[in-house]
Structure 1
Amino acid sequence: MIATELLLLCCFSLCAGFIDAIVGGGGLIQTPAILFTFPQYPVATLLGTTKIPSFSGTSMAAWQYSQKVRFHRGLLGVTAVTAFFAAMLGASLVSYLPNRFLKPVMLVLLIGVAIYTYLKKDFGQQAQAMVLPAGNTWLWGIVIGGVIGFYDGFFGPGTGSFLILAFISLMGFDFLHASAHAKVVNLATNMAAIIYFASHGHILWTVTLLMAASNLAGSFFGARLAILKGNTLVRRFFLLVVCATILRFAWELLK
């Protein structure tokens, strides 16, 4: 492996950690970067290699959020456990099923998300006065964890943003609390994917450890900035990341 390629990947991983700590979507940077840099490796191996950097950066962000943000522990536990097993299933299928059928669906959904977030100025700016019955809360946690957890294990990029959107839309969280809860759920999905990919030899250890250190550094600064600046900054980053996802998916579908 060429040193310049590793250095470039570390720079991408640093940026990914910074953005992911604020609003998710770090995989939009890391995943294309490693696929482009090492096209000679199987896709499953490259996806597996990105999971440890994602886990390290997400751990840092989750820890920093936990110092400032109050968690809904019951909901978080149900969602994270469901997401763990769903991600394990998704990771086990990645070598057998093509992910191209997901991209048109994701493109349509993301365009809708971007338009809705832009037009609804108060979306995610403050927690809504909404108290869901306990049964519904658990049900939504299972749905969120199952659907998004499977997606993260199977493909991954944009998972943090999807989790944030789900917590805001379905639970009435603001952007800051949604981002904090999304980090913990994302830890569960990353851990499941790491267990599967590592047990099947789909991780490049030298690459992943260097990327992990870079992602950790980026996440530290990103989370601190999000906590200091609050919902307005997170909302702006959310829109930027969603728009970047739309452009990337559209480019892959049209090329």
Structure 2
Amino acid sequence: MILTLATVCLAGFLAATVDAIAGGGGLISLPALLLAGIPPQLALGTNKFASTTASFNSSFTFARSGKVYFPLVKRQVLFTFLGACLGVWSVLHIGTDFLNKIVFFLILLVGIYTVVRKDLGMEDHFQGLKPSGTALGIVFAFVLGFYDGFFGPGTGSFLIFAFIALYGFDFVSASANAKVLNFTSNLASLLLFAWMGKIVYLYALPMALAMITGSRLGTRLAVGRGVSLVKPVFLTMSLLVAVKLVWQVLR
């Protein structure tokens, strides 16, 4: 029991470190809970509890570093939360299998585009917020909030890419803003899992502490090392999400 718990906490620490930098930490933390013998629904709820606390810590640290652009993000969080709630409600009534192939190709395209455009996200070209930019930000916040509640894989990658492609942020600033929205959609999902009693607190609480520590490390690395660290981690995690989706389809 103690060894299993220690393994889960270690996986949570690594997941949160990676997730704070470029997203995709669920590829590490969720399988660890499943390997510990926790049933899938309880593993999802337990992972969501721990990852939400970690994403809050990352969001807070990024905000203190000045990397979060609040004039935009403060308009997006409500729509992200509403989108996630609608997504969670929808997934209870609609199967998600058909999304696997679509999301795989989208993630793959994002990765290829990022590799081809070598200058993408390397410098911050953000020049201020226009009314059209605010409206567009609200739309993608709602859509990706819905997606995260409904399905989930690759949400962090899509958010980071959207902030870079639409506003000209560099990878670090994009990751910071994406983390705030990701925390918001995580919170919406967590509330539903908690209400349904799908959280194993024996694992969730120590894992949350480990993930908070990991998120602090990851955020500091992202802010300190900058784009030279965030971009390769972003590409790596995007590739792993694509591989995971292909494996699910083949299985």
Q: TM (normalized to structure 1)?
A: 0.91
Cα distance in 2 between the residues matched to 1:68 and 1:3? 37
Q: Which residue of 1 aligns with 2:52?
A: 55
CA apart distance, 1:158: 2.6
Q: Which residue of 2 aligns with 1:44?
A: 41
Q: Which residue of 2 aligns with 1:27?
A: 26
Could you tell me whether the CA contact under 8 Å between 1:153 and 1:193 is conserved in 2? yes
1:162 paired residue among 147, 158, 165: 158
Cα distance in 1 between the residues matched to 2:126 and 2:189? 36
Q: Which residue of 2 aligns with 1:7?
A: 6
1:96 paired residue among 93, 96, 99: 93
Residue type matched to 2:191 in 1? I
Cα distance in 1 between the residues matched to 2:37 and 2:85? 24
Could you tell me whether the CA contact under 8 Å between 1:91 and 1:197 is conserved in 2? no
Sequence identity (%)? 37
CA apart distance, 1:94: 3.3
Cα distance in 2 between the residues matched to 1:38 and 1:171? 43
Cα distance in 2 between the residues matched to 1:137 and 1:201? 39
Could you tell me whether the CA contact under 8 Å between 2:62 and 2:68 is conserved in 1? no
Could you tell me whether the CA contact under 8 Å between 1:23 and 1:161 is conserved in 2? yes
1:180 paired residue among 142, 166, 176: 176
Query: Which structure 2 residues correspond to residues 61-210 of structure 1 after superposition, within 5 A?
Result: 61-128=58-125, 130-131=127-128, 133-134=130-131, 136-210=132-206
Residue type matched to 2:103 in 1? M
Q: Which moved more, 1:140-149 or 1:214-223?
A: 140-149
Secondary structure in 2 matching 1:124: coil
Cα distance in 1 between the residues matched to 2:179 and 2:126? 23
Could you tell me whether the CA contact under 8 Å between 1:27 and 1:156 is conserved in 2? no
CA apart distance, 1:98: 2.4
Q: Which residue of 1 aligns with 2:227?
A: 231
Note the residue ranges of structure 1 that are not aligned, 5 or more in a row.
none
Residue type matched to 2:154 in 1? G
CA apart distance, 1:17: 0.4
Q: TM (normalized to structure 2)?
A: 0.93
Cα distance in 1 between the residues matched to 2:157 and 2:26? 10
Q: Which residue of 2 aligns with 1:248?
A: 244
Deviations for 1:171-206, whole angstroms, at most 9, x for unmatched residues?
A: 211111101111111121111111111112121122
Report the count of equivalent residues: 251
Q: Measured at CA, do residues 36 and 103 of structure 1 come closer, stay the same or move farther in structure 2, by a change above 3 Å?
A: farther
Q: Measured at CA, do residues 88 and 44 of structure 1 come closer, stay the same or move farther in structure 2, by a change above 3 Å?
A: farther
Cα distance in 2 between the residues matched to 1:171 and 1:92? 31
Secondary structure in 2 matching 1:47: helix
Note the residue ranges of structure 2 that are not aligned, 5 or more in a row.
none
